[in-house]
Structure 1
Amino acid sequence: MCGITGGWWPQGSPDSALRVSTALDRLRHRGPNDRGHEIYPLGFGELHLGHTRLSILDLSPAGHQPMLSHDGRLSIVYNGEIYNYKEIRAELQQQGFRFSTQTDTEVLLNAWLCWGPACLPKLEGMFAFALYDKQDHSLTLVRDPFGIKPLFYYHHDNQLLFGSEQTAMLALMPQKPELNWQRCYDYLVHGQYDNQEDTFLAGIRHLLPGHLLRISLQQPANAEPYQWWAPTLVKKEKLTFDQAVEAVREQFLHNIRTHLRSDVPVGAALSGGIDSSAIVCGMRYLYKDLPIHTFSYVSSDPATSEEKWIDLVNQHTGAIAHKVHIQPHELAEDLDTLVKAQGEPFGSTSIYAQFRVFKHARENNITVMLEGQGGDELLGGYSGYPGHRLLSLLEQHRYGAAHDFAKHWAKLNGLSYRHALMHLAHITLPPKVYALARQLTGRPFEPDWLNIDLLKEAGVKLCDYRPPLKPDYKGQRLIEKLAHSLQSYGLPHLLRHGDRNAMHFSVESRVPFLTAPFANLCLNLPEDYLVSPEAETKRVFRAAMQGIVPNVVLNRNDKIGFSTPEQTWVHPTIDKIDEGLVPNDTTRIFAQVSKYKKQINSIPKKTTYASQMWRYINFLCWRPGIK
């Protein structure tokens, strides 16, 4: 795992080398083992490629980057892991390509020489890279299918700048960027972030998951990213349920096997849920003698503690357990560090629990961690996406099945039948009716603590983003939702949390659920293989893990994860509202702070936590760090 940065200055710049050097300083935590910076003066401009390296495969100096292809044509800075690099290397060797290192970076260079961008679907892994082709003077930025590895860019006035994190981008930028008010509104009111190209800072964009941006350095003005990967949702010959179980089991174990390829110690994050338990149990199933270190957060609140499930999995696998316990005051003490590590505002205090888990892993000399992100989005997890599953059944005219599903879902989740219909209404109500429903339930689009007139004048859309329901997915609304969650609203912000938390401590986080073959397999299964008619989530995966994961874990119907006692943790941070404000701060214009503070101070400490409280505190902590 690494950090990458650089850019194209079309007229050159007297301080470009210093800017890239500063950006590399800010990425040192992503790659403490090595650093490289190459400058390519081309007569019509100047290209910089920079890299910080965390050594995982081939720990020798041969892995230094920027790395050149053997013919000198290509130069690359690359962040990630290609787990099937050995198989691709063997295929390339058969075609006459030679190798001088044991790195996956060299495999990627030769694969690009051989197949060009057509090599990308062959790669099973996580990656973000910048590749310079001297033959046609092009610079190509690429991001993996799910956006596991980050890549930001700025493209303006023929200039292209890129980096793994916002702090690196800020070092490269010609001037301090303004806030993107739309994204600030989306976050503060609706909790939405990392779900589209725009970031919190105007002009800085995400290269979206599964996208590629190629520019000609001689004519760089008009290039736009395009999508090179999306889930393949083509109806295939229907597998029987037993055949699907076998296919899921085989592909998941293959993913575990390849994700364990490493020249440094590997551990696993264990929450106690089905996904993380399956990873740890899969490691033991495949390798009977492998030393397994697990790292878990244990909540002090019995209602959210998963310690009994964690202990059960550790005992079943003979793993070496490491547990993290957090006191309420610790979040306030670490808040500034956490916010800086994340780079942009984020959604909940559970991110702090994950932060501490990765910290504990590093303290125990673990460099690579496997974790279970993506299992819910691929297999119909969480609460089973009841609104989308109900809509599928209704569009198939299976009204009785829809009624039965709603009853089962309500009983399974300890809720009423009405709650199932509310999930359906959330995705089907017309916009005006939906806005009214939000107003009546105390979640207005225009809360009184925002300066609404000013936001309207600035062109901010004061609404909630709901993905449109596409005609092509009629009768397959669950599959449509899962596919959308993989690359837009859902998974991307979870992957951001994991990447930044892990890399802050120079730990590589790997997510074995997230490979293109596994995604294409799961999303082409019938919906009732994923969520059963009785509303059981991850139906096919539970069956696939029989004999690998203890049945008592597979039979769980609750989902806790890294749940934290937010109300207890957040109240000690309320003073940050005043500390985060500075004279003439944009936030004073954007929001009416006095009204907001009055609102949150009126919330008793023992009531259900108001999510806006955390988001506003987080936002104020982040603002002064933009420099």
Structure 2
Amino acid sequence: MCGIWFSIGINCNTDVINSITHRGPDGDGWRTFKHDQHLIHLGHRRLSIQDLSDAGQQPMSDVSGRYCMVFNGEIYNHLEIRKDLEKRNIKFLSHSDTETLLYAFIEWGEQCLSRLNGMFAFVIWDNVDKKLFAARDRFGVKPLFCGIDDRGNFAFASEVKQFFSTQAFQPRLNSVNAQNKFFSGDRVDRNHSLFKGIDMVKPGHYVSWTVGDNHVGQSQWYDIANVPMINLCFSEASERLGSLLEDSVDKRLLSDAPIGAMLSGGLDSSSIVGIAAHNIGQGQRGSDFLTFTSWAPDKNVDEREFSRAVVEKWKVSNLEAEIKPIDLLGDREKIIWHHEAPFSGFSIFAEWNLYKAISENTDLKVVLDGQGADEMLYGYLRMLPQFIANLISRGKLAKAFRELQHIIQRHPHAYSATVFALDVMNVFSPSLLDSIQRIRGRSITPREKIEINAQAYRRALLSYNIYPQLQWQDRTSMAFGIESRQPFLDYKVVEFLMSLQPELLVKQGRTKMILRHAMKKFLPQNVYERDNKFGFPSPGQRLLTQDIRQQIISDIKANMDFLNEVGFKEETDNPLKGKISSFEKDGSFSDEMWQLSNIVTWKNLYKVS
């Protein structure tokens, strides 16, 4: 994993890659081509993981010198692709997946994308046809931004801050997307950043541009909506999922650098650790495997009884990183600088704290993580009303009633019968629910329309939930020069899970049943049976000492003009002013003030205008 840069017609130098040294501390490269009066620059920061020799350096050209590429990511099946290319008499000079990708594009053009199993963002310059090709992986694991300046010249980069190392771009606020982010639970428009003139190449899209073209447009090369539903019995589906996930983990153990794994003690990370430790125990990759657990001295979020059970079962090494309030204020600016955006919750800090501990205590460059499983496996309790509604819509009334009973019995703290019934009704008709609530004399909360089709519903969650999580994970891991890999987001695993009917995923009120069954041999009993879920555990507001809260209030007061611009209107009846007054009066503090303070910090760090 690395950091990349490509530009045409923009006056820049190696500052654009040196600004992201954290993404590639092992080396750098720079190439310049000239066309008419325009200079074309390709830059790269390297994190050496496959083929640690100089033969893997980038920018990388083919033997003819016609094509030049910068690439960020990993191609997990590159050895298979390489064999196909060698049958076509292509000779390789390195063992790197970069070279495999370059010649795959030369051989098959944009059709090479469907052959790739991996996470990637890359740009290739054809210096004969004066043509650019850039692409991003299916689910957006690796970032790729495109910036267009006022003269129509453009650049591609791994991080937004790279653009500001040139005179062509200034950190000007994209007010519309800023408001979407600040008021919509971090659901950012996937095609735009928080800065004007800088867009994202969307997941599963590519850009093809030739000198003389007036427009830099994106084309979709992958769409998960095309995955057909299949009918399998539970045991058949479980067996196939186990095989796919084991293959996915094994592919992501491919590395010439040390590898470890995150271990929360949940089903997802415990399954990955179990598979990896099992393979390592068979002598495939060495004799030891490092795992990492985040924890806080709060019994409501402490999962160590589960993570320790996994450690005991597989005899792996484990580092437990405590979340401490003293670190929060000192690291907050660093987190926002690397994320290039403010954050609202505290789980990002917990994740940052864990990667920092990995960096300080090991020499690992690669970790495996469990992102993606919840959205596909009904892993969140809030997904269960849609599950029941889907069964009803398909005429499975008896099964829906039985599952409803199991859900309420198994999760009494999450649902009452009334609340669950209202949530199910909301899936069918939000307007009808509003009418019933009015009759009941209850307040009306605007609700989003929820897809009743199970595949469409999970597809939407995969997009809106996973996309910001992958952004956070990329920025956090790469801040410490560590590559994060997600076995559950292997496209073969994703497509298989999305093809299954939901009754294979939830049974007797218990979520992720197909995963539990498939991974049973890899899991301790207490992990297999657990029903509670914490995500990235964090003690939340308990991290905010009185000194931190005082600083937050001062930040907000000093920047009310900017907050007004992004939507927090300073009016007489503004609830924010009331909350600030309440804090000054009795010390009461809201999550909204924490969010606003982070917005202010982001604005000041990036000098946003």
TM-score, normalization: structure 1? 0.88
Task: Please give the secondary structure, in 1, of the residue aligned with 2:8.
Answer: strand
Per the alignment, residue 258 of structure 1 pairs with 251
Task: Please give the secondary structure, in 1, of the residue aligned with 2:318.
Answer: strand
Counterparts of 2:217 and 2:301, CA distance in 1: 45
Equivalent of residue 186 in structure 1, options 154, 171, 180? 180
Q: CA deviation at 1:616?
A: 1.5
Distance 1:276 1:437, change over 3 A: farther
What amino acid is aligned across from residue 12 of structure 2 in structure 1?
Answer: A
Cα deviation digits, residues 258-310 of structure 1 (max 9, x gap): 10111111111111100010111111222215311111111110111001111
What amino acid is aligned across from residue 281 of structure 1 in structure 2?
Answer: G
Distance 1:28 1:113, change over 3 A: same
Q: CA deviation at 1:198?
A: 1.9
Counterparts of 1:268 and 1:437, CA distance in 2: 47
What amino acid is aligned across from residue 517 of structure 1 in structure 2?
Answer: K
For residues 236-275 of structure 1, the aligned pairs below 5 Å read 237-275=230-268
Counterparts of 2:606 and 2:569, CA distance in 1: 21
What amino acid is aligned across from residue 41 of structure 1 in structure 2?
Answer: K
In the alignment, is the contact (CA less than 8 A) between 2:555 and 2:597 conserved in 1? no
In the alignment, is the contact (CA less than 8 A) between 1:384 and 1:537 conserved in 2? no
- Are 1:625 and 2:605 matched, yes or no? yes
In the alignment, is the contact (CA less than 8 A) between 1:214 and 1:225 conserved in 2? yes
For residues 54-93 of structure 1, the aligned pairs below 5 Å read 54-93=47-86
What amino acid is aligned across from residue 515 of structure 1 in structure 2?
Answer: D
What amino acid is aligned across from residue 604 of structure 2 in structure 1?
Answer: P
- Are 1:491 and 2:486 matched, yes or no? no
Per the alignment, residue 482 of structure 2 pairs with 507
Distance 1:613 1:432, change over 3 A: farther
User: Please, which runs of 5 or more residues in structure 1 have no aligned partner?
Assistant: 446-463
Cα deviation digits, residues 488-528 of structure 1 (max 9, x gap): 31101111111111111111111111111111111111211
Counterparts of 1:217 and 1:122, CA distance in 2: 28
- Are 1:390 and 2:388 matched, yes or no? yes
Distance 1:336 1:234, change over 3 A: closer
Counterparts of 1:235 and 1:316, CA distance in 2: 38
Task: Please give the secondary structure, in 1, of the residue aligned with 2:299.
Answer: coil
Counterparts of 1:268 and 1:625, CA distance in 2: 32
Counterparts of 1:435 and 1:299, CA distance in 2: 43
Per the alignment, residue 3 of structure 2 pairs with 3
- Are 1:96 and 2:70 matched, yes or no? no
**Which moves more between the two structures, 573-582 or 546-555?**
573-582
Distance 1:362 1:434, change over 3 A: farther
What amino acid is aligned across from residue 238 of structure 1 in structure 2?
Answer: N
For residues 517-596 of structure 1, the aligned pairs below 5 Å read 517-532=492-507, 534-570=508-544, 572=546, 573-574=548-549, 575-579=551-555, 585-590=561-566, 591-592=568-569, 595-596=575-576
Counterparts of 1:499 and 1:199, CA distance in 2: 15
User: Please, which runs of 5 or more residues in structure 2 have no aligned partner?
Assistant: none
In the alignment, is the contact (CA less than 8 A) between 1:187 and 1:615 conserved in 2? no
Counterparts of 1:549 and 1:608, CA distance in 2: 43
Cα deviation digits, residues 390-424 of structure 1 (max 9, x gap): 23123213334333333322332222023323433
Per the alignment, residue 12 of structure 2 pairs with 17
Q: CA deviation at 1:370?
A: 0.7
Task: Please give the secondary structure, in 2, of the residue aligned with 1:264.
Answer: coil
For residues 369-518 of structure 1, the aligned pairs below 5 Å read 369-383=367-381, 385-414=383-412, 415-430=415-430, 466=448, 469=451, 477-486=453-462, 488-518=463-493
Counterparts of 2:93 and 2:585, CA distance in 1: 61
In the alignment, is the contact (CA less than 8 A) between 1:567 and 1:606 conserved in 2? no
Task: Please give the secondary structure, in 2, of the residue aligned with 1:547.
Answer: helix
For residues 7-406 of structure 1, the aligned pairs below 5 Å read 7-9=7-9, 16-18=11-13, 21-43=14-36, 45-155=38-148, 157-172=151-166, 174-219=168-213, 221-231=214-224, 233-235=226-228, 237-288=230-281, 289=283, 290-363=287-360, 364-383=362-381, 385-406=383-404
Distance 1:251 1:587, change over 3 A: same
In the alignment, is the contact (CA less than 8 A) between 1:231 and 1:516 conserved in 2? no
**Which moves more between the two structures, 612-621 or 254-263?**
612-621
In the alignment, is the contact (CA less than 8 A) between 1:233 and 1:520 conserved in 2? no
Q: How many residues align?
A: 591
Cα deviation digits, residues 337-361 of structure 1 (max 9, x gap): 1111211122411111111111111
Task: Please give the secondary structure, in 1, of the residue aligned with 2:43.
Answer: strand
Cα deviation digits, residues 9-62 of structure 1 (max 9, x gap): 1xxx5xx133xx222121110001111121111115222111100000111111
